Structures are given as structure tokens and as C-alpha cells.
Structure 1
């Protein structure tokens, strides 16, 4: 696998991005991510998704009978 196609993981024990060939057990990593940059910035992505989901929850709470949820 070349550098262009390597999947990256965030290693929770080492606290760093690692290529797939160096990843630990599934309990100790987050990913895969398409790039080292995205693996290193995993927390921003998690926070972004959480905000989106919270917004969707709020919208649903305001219109629970709306069938478009």
C-alpha cells in the first residue's frame, strides 16, 4: 500500500496518528481515516458530528410528529 492509499488511525495509547501497518488493537484506536491530518484531527470531527446530532435532536424534539425525521 503506498502513501496515497494508506489508512490512518489515531492510537489512543500513544496519542498519535499511525498508519494501518502500525495500528494497535481495535480497542486502542479510532479510525480508519483517509489521511494522517484527519486522524490527527479526530476530535474536531467528533465535536462537529455531535453538534450536528444535537441539532437534529433539538429539531425532532420541537416537531416529534414530523415524518421527515
Structure 2
């Protein structure tokens, strides 16, 4: 399978599972991720990014 056929791993918000390639609509899933294990951690990754952005916003507001 080449890169054009392989569109990565996704975490589906609708059913709470990992998908590879075509699946649920992109608007209902997070990704793509490079592998299944990373896609399975999608909610944790999103939470960590949100925390980092919130912290950055707080720091910018104090400057």
C-alpha cells in the first residue's frame, strides 16, 4: 500500500474507537495519526494540547 492509499489512523468520536483509512466522516474523528497506538491516545493528546494552549494564553495575557 502506498501513501496515497493509506490515509493514516484516526480516532472516531462517534463510536470511541480507532479506524484505519476510510471510515466515519472526518468531521467526527481526530487524526490522522501515524499509527494505531497514537490514534488510541487521541483524546489524551488533544487534552494535553488544550492545556498547553491555555497555559500559553495565560502567559501572554500577563506580559
Range of TM-score over shorter length: 0.7 to 0.9
Measured on the aligned residues, the alpha-carbon RMSD in Å equals 1.7
TM (norm. structure 2) is: 0.79
Structure 2 stretches lacking a partner, 5+ long = none
TM (norm. structure 1) is: 0.73
Aligned to 2:20: 19
Aligned equivalents of 2:60 and 2:28: distance in 1?
34
Count of residues paired in the alignment: 60
Larger radius of gyration: 1
Within-5 A mapping of 1:8-47: 8-21=9-22, 23-47=23-47
Q: Which runs of 4+ in 1 moved over 6 A?
A: none
